[in-house]
Amino acid sequence: DGGITQSPKYLFRKEGQNVTLSCEQNLNHDAMYWYRQDPGQGLRLIYYSQIVNDFQKGDIAEGYSVSREKKESFPLTVTSAQKNPTAFYLCASSSTGRYGEKLFFGSGTQLSVL
Amino acid sequence: EDQVTQSPEALRLQEGESSSLNCSYTVSGLRGLFWYRQDPGKGPEFLFTLYSAGEEKEKERLKATLTKKESFLHITAPKPEDSATYLCAVQGNILTGGGNKLTFGTGTQLKVEL
């Protein structure tokens, strides 16, 4: 079955540590996205990518980094510069990234600080 | 700046008791309004896209409608399995270079009881 796979489901970060969240899709979609979800807030866009080797900052990119070396993969690194990383992280994809397209979401990664 | 406000924050219904969820929005040039369903600990699942005022879409017990200022998600004769958080999102101006940026509301948490 086609879909988006996020791993791990739960992740714990120590002070000063960088952690990487994995996102893989087999939908053959060009566009991929990372959103952050906090209780009582709407999903907020961190980064997005429309093609391989290219990505753009979203609304809350500070303290995060991404790469897009392969079409099917879009990992997110939460760096030590992100002072409030505890949140539910969602990866999504869409066919081309043009307007009006629905997003397909993964099942999320819950990141917590030790 | 695009804004989305959903109401109520939480709604408790008896099985079979129909109701509506509201999504009020302000956007510069609506490209699409999206409804998603999210179960606890999971990623959002796409329900509907509406593109212009007057448009309506249905799926089983759900019907989404759109005006120039708001959208309603009508739930007819709900069942316990309809319990979830329902998210509304809008897509307004296209970012420079394209992109499928969505602005999400905080959601309505629906609980349907026997």
Query: Does the structure show a pLDDT above 90 at A7?
Result: yes
Q: A108: alpha, beta or left, given left = phi > 0 and alpha = psi -120 to 50?
A: left
Contact predicate A25/A93, CB 8 Å: yes
Mean of pLDDT values over B94-110: 76
Q: What is the pLDDT of residue B28?
A: 82
> Could A56 and B107 be called an inter-chain contact, meaning their C-beta atoms sit closer than 8 Å?
no
Interface mutation target, options A4, A6, A43, A44, chain B, most CBs of B under 10 Å? A43
For residues B48 and B102, the model is more confident at B48
- CB < 8 Å from A in window 9-28 of B: none
Which of A4, A6, A50 is opposite residue B99, by nearest beta carbon? A50
| pLDDT surpassing 60 at residue A85 | yes
What gap in Å lies between CA B92 and CA B2, rounded to an integer? 7
Contacts of B19 (CB under 8 A, 6+ apart): B11, B13, B74, B75, B78
Q: For B42-61, what is each residue's pLDDT tens digit? A: 999 999 999 999 999 999 99
Residue in A40, A48, A63, A24 with CA at minimum distance from that of residue A99: A48
Residue with tokens 């408790």: B12
How does pLDDT run across A46-82, given as a tens digit for each residue? Answer: 999 999 999 999 999 999 999 999 999 999 999 999 9
Nearest Cα to Cα of residue B99 among A41, A22, A50: A50
Residue B100 pLDDT > 80: no
Q: Are strands B108-113 and B10-14 parallel, antiparallel or unpaired?
A: parallel
Q: What does the pLDDT average to over B18-32?
A: 93
d(Cα B97, Cα A22) in Å, to the nearest integer?
26
pLDDT of residue B98: 41
pLDDT digits (tens, 9 = 90+) for B63-87: 999 999 999 999 999 999 999 999 9
* Cα–Cα distance measured from residue A19 to residue A87, given in angstroms and rounded to the nearest whole number: 13
- Spell out a b/e string for B10-48, using b for 16 or more CB atoms within 10 Å of the CB, else e: ebebeeeeeeebebebebeebbbbbbbbbeeebbbeebb
Q: How confident is the model at residue B25 (pLDDT cuts 50, 70, 90)?
A: very high
Q: How close is the nearest chain A Cα to the Cα of B113, in Å?
A: 23
The predicted pLDDT at position A1 comes to 65
User: Greater confidence, B14 or A40?
Assistant: B14
